[in-house]
Amino acid sequence: MASKNLYIHFPFCRSRCAYCDFYSTVLSADWAQRYVKTLQEEILQRVSGAVQNVYLGGGTPSLMRDTDLYDLMATVRRASVLADDAEITIEANPDDIDEAWVSSILSAGFNRVSMGVQSFNDEVLQFVGRRHNAMSAERAVRTAKERVNNVSIDLIYGLPLQTVEDFRGDVLEAIELGVEHISAYALTYEEGTRLWHLREGKALTETSDDTEWRMYELLMDQLAQAGYEHYEISNFARPGYQARHNSGYWDGTHYIGVGAAAHSYDGVNRRWNVADIRAYIDSPGQPPFEGEQLSEQMRYEELLMTRLRTRKGLCLADVPEPFIAQLDKQKIPHLMAGNLIEEDGVLRLTRKGIFRSDDIIADLF
């Protein structure tokens, strides 16, 4: 049986962060419970065969009831053949983590926690609308690590009010806490978010590219010195702790996404469920969805976009004709001359090129 990964979306939050444009809504206990029941029905309808890794994301899955977590994972095991060594991740907000919560997720079968810390600076956290503060974040990480062997945290750089030294403190704190995995993202101003409106109204000034680059260089240097491997543009891990589910997105592993707004991919076709909780619940087992069949050009661009994000890079032998000729004759020499990319049968972004990855990948398209 060909294995695949499973993504489960729980789109409920207690409050909405100023930068977030993910599909989510403020928590309603009744709707959340009805939603979980519908998730179970969709899993039984759409998931079968071998599943390698499971990722429960959101939203804020750490708001789910213990019984819902247990029943959800029991449904996954009923519908599929879950790998013995499966990585089973749950996203969490630091405010929700205590010893009882850790016990509940371990009982349900989760073995990895991905925590949305974002910053250890109280002023920054308050400005962007996070529920936790630095102290509660530190406490949550330590509580999780007492019993969970694989803890990841998210950090954001380029946030309003955040200085380079602030971000240095965030990185050093993450290292001191001893987490196995760190994801760090540059802030993007997504249209419609509160930060976007503040920027458009001149109520805040966007962090300069130069400052963001200094933050990113600091991130790479400090984590390398601490023994973390920089295996993808935004991801760093201690040896043996690369995020297996997320790595599947970059190496072409097929995945099924269940839940409102969740995406699925089988190598040729992509589909996404309706981004509407009511419509999703009203169609148990068979949610309304849209989809597309990827052309050869689209699959090539997908290959470029995902592989070049990783340290493994893009093996030129995997590039189909006629695209390889275009790369060889026009694009690669130009980018190599600018010290943005290196090539030895495999294309990889240089240190300089990593920070300009979006422009480079678009150029290669």
325 and 215 belong to one structural domain = no
Q: Which residue has the higher pLDDT, 198 or 187?
A: 187
Position 261 in a domain: no
242 and 307 belong to one structural domain = no
Give the number of other CB atoms < 10 A from CB of residue 129. Answer: 14
Task: Give the number of domains in the chain.
Answer: 2
Q: Which range marks the domain in which residue 98 is found?
A: 4-250
Quick one: pLDDT at residue 241?
Answer: 98
305 and 231 belong to one structural domain = no
Position 283 in a domain: no
pTM of full prediction above 0.85: yes
Choose the final residue of a domain: 232, 250, 268: 250
Task: Kindly state the helix (H) or strand (E) to which residue 344 belongs, with its residue range.
Answer: none
160 and 226 belong to one structural domain = yes
pLDDT (mean) for 122-138: 79
Distance from C-alpha of 222 to C-alpha of 154, rounded to nearest angstrom? 16
Quick one: pLDDT at residue 22?
Answer: 52
Q: Is residue 16 predicted with pLDDT exceeding 60?
A: no
Q: How many helices (H) and strands (E) does the chain have?
A: 15, 18
Q: Which residue has the higher pLDDT, 188 or 340?
A: 340
Choose the final residue of a domain: 250, 267, 282: 250
Residue 141: CATH number of its domain? 3.80.30.20
245 and 303 belong to one structural domain = no
Choose the final residue of a domain: 217, 250, 283: 250
Q: Which residue has the tokens 């009203």?
A: 282
Interval 243-270: pLDDT, tens: 999 999 998 899 999 999 999 999 999 9
Position 8 in a domain: yes
pLDDT (mean) for 24-37: 80
Q: At what angle do helices 296-307 and 357-364 cross, to 10 degrees?
A: 150
Q: What is the mean pLDDT of the chain?
A: 88
Residue 358: CATH number of its domain? 1.10.10
Distance from C-alpha of 111 to C-alpha of 105, rounded to nearest angstrom? 8
Interval 216-237: pLDDT, tens: 999 999 999 999 999 999 999 9
Quick one: pLDDT at residue 264?
Answer: 97
